[in-house]
Amino acid sequence: MEIRPILSALMRSKVAMILIGLQVALTLAIVCNALFIIGQRLDRMHRPSGMNEADTFMVSSTGFGQNFDAFATLKADLALLRGIPGVADVTPANSVPMSEGGWSTGLNLQPRQRTSSADTALYLVDDHALDTFGFKLVAGRGFKPEEAAEVNFGDRLQPASIIVTRALADKLFPGGDAVGKQVYMDEDPPTSTIVGVIERAQQPWMSSSSVEMSTLVPAFMPYGKSTRYLVRTEPGRRDAVMKDVEQKLAEANHGRIVGRLRTIETVRAEAYAGDRAMAVILGGVIVALLLITALGIVGMASFWVAQRTKQIGTRRALGATRGDILRYFMTENFVITTLGLAAGALLTYAFNYWLITHYQAQRLPLAYLGGGVLALWLLGQIAVFGPATRASRVPPAVATRSV
């Protein structure tokens, strides 16, 4: 198929060619960057928290009255909960991964550092934490029962031993074994000794730049008269156990309010609701843009076929086959789409640069541009196929009709 006659014909319809080319270019730029953002959001949504999410849930207890003993109630609740059929293990926990609420601090390698060596989330737990959360121990040991001390809310934490995530251990002691090393949880002594390293425990805050850096601290610390428990059940029994836990806690102490029970799966869904919504919205934008672009190509191709009906008939009368006519319009669309994609490639990375500059986005991988180009080439050929097929069916007799 000769390209020169096609280019000559297109130059006689510059406005239509430019409009379709710009539409293709804009669609490519938006679709590629939107797909990249969707991919990043999906990656965030599927980040492992490091814990057993399927069998765990949280429940809180808030006491009232002047004689409410928070520490005694905490110890009694733990014994009660661990004795309920279907409960695998329980630990007090000030927070859990993905909950968007919790405590954080800086860990230092030297006293009175101006800048922390690493920032970390703090999970206040007891010696049952690893089993309850489902954290995987990769070095060292878990907490011993005697290491969990009673700490009043608001007091300074001074744990003799802590457990850190692998990411935090590598940050503090790159290339070395963190177990047995000492760090400062505040500017001054005493120090805390790292007794264990777990594979992963995400921070509660999903937007944190150090989301994999967490620390387990052995401490019983009610928040005033409130305590939160994390409960892990035997597989498949979570929902039934949740009802029993709520009832048993309410019956055990009438001087407190049992808070709403939340599964960790619910916590994850709520934490990533914004990412999910953005992915859905951008997906809708992509579908709408592709549909509008396809309809634009169909409309313009149909208009050109209607304008050139007599020319098509003349070509048929001179010996052009139906396949020649079909290939002509398919090639014509390919040329227009290619010109639009060439401009769209520049526009795509210009848009990506703007996102990097203003929203700290990442550089768009070349694979997204390549996939977008192939998709729009294919879309253009599919869209023009209908009008091109109608053009190929124009009979040679049309050339003899008067206008």
Going from N- to C-terminal start, the domains of the chain cover: 3-46+274-400, 65-254
The H-or-E segment that residue 231 falls in is strand 226-233
pLDDT band at 42 (very low <50, low <70, confident <90, very high): very high
Give the pLDDT confidence of 317-340 residue by residue, as tens digits.
Answer: 888 888 888 888 888 888 889 999
Cβ-contact 144, 129 below 8 angstroms: no
> Among residues 165, 159, 175, 173, which one has the least CA distance to residue 197?
165
CA distances from 296 to 109, 239, 263 (A): 63, 53, 48
pLDDT band at 304 (very low <50, low <70, confident <90, very high): confident
pLDDT at 12: 65
Distance CA 330, CA 324 (A): 10
As to burial, measured by CB atoms within 10 angstroms (0-12 exposed, 13-18 middle, 19+ buried), residue 46 is exposed
Q: What tokens appear for 252 in the block?
A: 């055990």
Check whether 305 has a pLDDT greater than 80. Answer: yes
Check whether 1 has a pLDDT greater than 80. Answer: no
Furthest-apart CA atoms within the chain: distance in Å: 105
pLDDT band at 229 (very low <50, low <70, confident <90, very high): very high
Q: Helix 322-359 and helix 273-307: axis angle, to 10°?
A: 150
Q: Which residue has the higher pLDDT, 153 or 216?
A: 216
Q: What tokens appear for 172 in the block?
A: 């503090």
> Among residues 154, 147, 152, which one has the least CA distance to residue 69?
152
Distance CA 259, CA 229 (A): 11
pLDDT at 254: 87
Distance CA 315, CA 323 (A): 12
Phi, psi dihedral angles at 102 (to 5 degrees): 170, -165
Alpha carbon of residue 335 to chain centroid: 38
Q: What is the DSSP letter of 218?
A: E
Q: What tokens appear for 62 in the block?
A: 């808030």
pLDDT band at 19 (very low <50, low <70, confident <90, very high): confident
Half-sphere exposure for 51 (CA within 13 Å, toward CB): 30
Distance CA 398, CA 403 (A): 10
Q: What is the mean pLDDT of residues 229-234?
A: 97
pLDDT at 176: 78
Give the pLDDT confidence of 235-248 residue by residue, as tens digits.
Answer: 999 999 999 999 99
Kindly report which listed range (4-8, 18-22, 180-184) carries the lowest average pLDDT score.
4-8
Give the pLDDT confidence of 140-150 residue by residue, as tens digits.
Answer: 999 999 999 99
Indicate the average pLDDT of the chain. 91
Distance CA 193, CA 184 (A): 9
Q: Give the residues across from 227 on adjacent strands.
A: 61
pLDDT at 308: 81
Q: What tokens appear for 194 in the block?
A: 């790292």
Q: What is the mean pLDDT of residues 12-16?
A: 71
Give the pLDDT confidence of 147-187 residue by residue, as tens digits.
Answer: 999 988 878 888 999 999 999 999 999 977 899 999 998 76
pLDDT at 82: 96
Q: What is the mean pLDDT of residues 54-79?
A: 92
